[in-house]
Amino acid sequence: MSEAPVFFAPQDILRYFCGCFSYLYARARIASSLFLERNQFFRVPANQIILFQEKVEAMNKSRVVLIALIFLGAGLLAFPASQARETKSSTKNVTFNKDVAPILFKSCAECHHPGESAPFSVLSYKDVRPWAKSIREKVVNREMPPWHADPHVGEWANDRRLKQQEIDAITAWIDGGAKEGDARDLPAAPQFAEGWTIGKPDMVIEMPEEFTLAASGPDEYQYFDVPTNFTEDKYVQMAEARPGNRRVVHHVIAFVVPPGSPNMAKIPKEQRDKALEMSLKNSPFYRDGYLIRLKPDQPVYNDADEVPPNLRGYGSIGDFLTGYAPGSSPSVWNPGVAKKIPAGATIRFQIHYSKVAGSEQKDRSKVGLIFAKQPPEKTLRSRAASNIFFQIPPGSERHKVTAFWKPSVDVTIYSLSPHMHYRGAAMEYKVVYPDGKSETLLNVPKYSFNWQMTYNPKELLHIPAGSRIEVTGYFDNSAKNKFNPDPAKSVRYGEPTYDEMMMGFVEYVTEKPKQLATIDSQVFDTYAGKYDVGNNRPYFVTREGSRYFGQAPGGLKREMFPTTETKFFMPEAESQITFVKDEKGEVVEMLYEQNDRVNRFKRLKEGAAGSGQQ
């Protein structure tokens, strides 16, 4: 029969050790006195005897303290044998249903549920139990849930990291035998609409038909246009791109093509190919099968500041609705903020296929949309700060490439998303404000091509006009990079994953100026008309009642708001327009300012359609 554990009150333990200390200290003083009495033949002077005695007492005190600490340590180790048994017992009491399932449901189920890319579901004990050891390793090493942002820079609303107590609970559960526990302790599992993370979509837009991908060969970029047939503007609150075949779909991007633009699905392939070749003729790019790559003879500018102004427009990414890439999450936006799909617009799928399956494959990807219940207060946009003129030398371990974006209007940032390929190693976003002060917005010290994540700031980032958002990427083209396709090659920009990209994506809204001017309609009528943007293409300026609009060739009509009598702000185009008069007071040109560039458009005097009230 085992002996029952004995418990002591804390004050009794303290009193016991204090008593031991007093006893040992008294014995030490007696010992030092006897030593001095028995060694008087040394004839040591009295003052030195006193000094000697003080040193002995100090040494004895140190010894006594050390002995007391030893006793105390031994007591702490030995005292609650019951406590050790209690800890072991508490480890055994950690169960899946009570302690672990709530953590997995909250932090892991988004990817780990049936129909998703994760290798197992966390929605039941029987699915989790065979993976217990693997879960322990990944969680302890903080590999899962994946999160690559530097914890010392910024705070993120979608931070996936587990708290230490959650990691401790999972490890205690596994170390204690990974027990299931009482079924009554299991919380309700999260519910997912079949095939969707955002819930059941209000509308699903799917590729018109299945696409067949050959078994071998280089990567392919394919485009598929799908008309929305919307008769009114729609605002999207949530969007999710779903690859039809994850084995070969590397990424999906859904672009919103304005109404009136050519529908590629209705243009014969030969005509499309010819138009593409013509557009690439005088550009920095060339066509390699179904891929666009940078011409090898293009100049090298690893620093974006060195890129000549006439080349800075290349490689820019237009506004898009949503996308899918390995490790990405669906697009879910705050209430009051949404993305706009104009009436009559087309959804264009850009799909990057990788022929890694080893056999012929079929795909029919799609996008699910959940609409806002009412028109939003703000419309969200997407862009990328990019650099396409870099060159990564062979064997380079940390090659630096920069890009920047200088908004010409006030913006509020809702998310940041780094994008590189297999040689991507790290990326940092920094803002330099108009007063010269700077701040790091995001640092990803260990970028992973397999986990292309979006980071949503807990507090929205307000960036005033004239600021400069700088993106710095680092690439590892050495043999130490196990994902490197070929460390012996010099690498430039291109669509295939064996080339590289340098893009810092940003989701944001443009903010209206806090104060708007009021101008007389007759004054604005002197601005209305056509302005030459080049190649006989007119830019239209019109008025509808007390509202003012500008429309680029082939573009949408955008409303603009006066900030002074001659200067107007156009939030949807992120631009500012200034009307210039000559010495006679007549309007002769328009200055169009966008993204740190100013274009001068001369007014067309003859046949100036669109002037006056519409």
Q: How far apart are CA 468 and CA 405, in angstroms?
A: 6
Q: What confidence score (pLDDT) does residue 211 get?
A: 96
Which residue has tokens 């989701």?
A: 507
| Burial profile 425-452: b = 16 or more Cβ within 10 angstroms, e = fewer | bbbbbbbbeeeeeeeebbbbeebbbebb
**C-beta of residue 383 within 8 angstroms of C-beta of residue 505:** yes
Strands 378-379 and 337-341, by their bridges, are parallel
Distance CA 16, CA 285 (A): 84
Residue 181 is which amino acid? G
Q: What's the pLDDT at 87?
A: 46
Q: What's the gap between Cα 122 and its chain centre?
A: 24
DSSP 97: I
Contacts of 219 (CB under 8 A, 6+ apart): 250, 290, 291, 352, 353, 354, 355, 495, 496, 497
Other beta carbons less than 10 A from residue 475's beta carbon: 29
Q: What is the pLDDT of residue 486?
A: 96
Q: Which amino acid is at 8?
A: F
Cβ-based neighbour number of residue 114 at 10 Å: 12
DSSP 571: G
Going through 66-117 in order, the beta strands assigned E by DSSP cover none
User: What span, in angstroms and rounded, lies between the C-alpha atoms of 539 and 46?
Assistant: 108
Residues linked to residue 309 through DSSP beta bridges, in sequence order: none
pTM of this structure:
0.78
- What pLDDT does 90 receive? 54
Distances, alpha carbon 249 to alpha carbons 293, 355, 542, in Å: 19, 9, 45
Q: Which residue type does 323 have?
A: G
pLDDT for the residue numbered 272: 83
Residue at 597: amino acid letter? R
DSSP string, 460-511: -EEE-TT-EEEEEEEE--STT-TT-S-TTS-B-BBSSTTSB--EEEEEEEEP
| Distance separating alpha carbons of residues 547 and 2, to the nearest angstrom | 90
What is d(CA 377, CA 412) in angstroms, rounded to the nearest whole number?
A: 13
Residues in the chain predicted with pLDDT less than 50, given as ranges, are 1-89, 607-614
Task: Read off the pLDDT of residues 533-550 as tens digits, 9 standing for 90 and up.
Answer: 988 889 999 999 989 999
Q: 80: which 2 tokens?
A: 């609650």
Distance from C-alpha of 47 to C-alpha of 53, rounded to nearest angstrom? 10
Please state which CATH number belongs to domain 521-604.
2.40.128.50
User: Cβ of 198: how many Cβ atoms within 10 Å?
Assistant: 19
- Beta-carbon contacts of residue 196 (< 8 Å; ≥ 6 apart): 240, 242, 368
The rounded distance, in Å, linking the Cα atoms of 354 and 218 is 7
What is the reported pLDDT for 91?
Answer: 57
Q: How would you classify residue 330: left for phi > 0, otherwise alpha for psi between -120 and 50, otherwise beta? A: beta
> Cα-flanking dihedrals φ and ψ of residue 132, to 5°?
-55, -50
How many whole angstroms separate alpha carbon 560 and alpha carbon 539? Answer: 14
Nearest Cα neighbor of 509 from 325, 370, 383 is 383
Domain 203-510, architecture per CATH: Sandwich (2.60)
Closest-CA residue to 321 (of 230, 404, 407, 258):
258
pLDDT digits (tens, 9 = 90+) for 32-43: 443 333 333 333
**Alpha carbon 371 to its chain's center:** 23
User: How many residues are present in the chain?
Assistant: 614
Q: Which of 407, 403, 398 is nearest to 388 (CA)?
A: 403
List the end-to-end C-alpha distance of the chain, in Å, as a whole number: 100
8-state DSSP, 242: E
CA separation for the pair 266, 375 (Å, rounded):
32
pLDDT at 578: 95
Domain boundaries, given as residue ranges, for the chain: 10-79, 89-185, 203-510, 521-604
Task: Report residue 450 CA to chain centroid gap.
Answer: 13
Residue 56 confidence (pLDDT): 40
CB 292 within 8 A of CB 352: no
Q: Is 235 left (phi over 0), alpha (psi -120 to 50) or beta?
A: beta
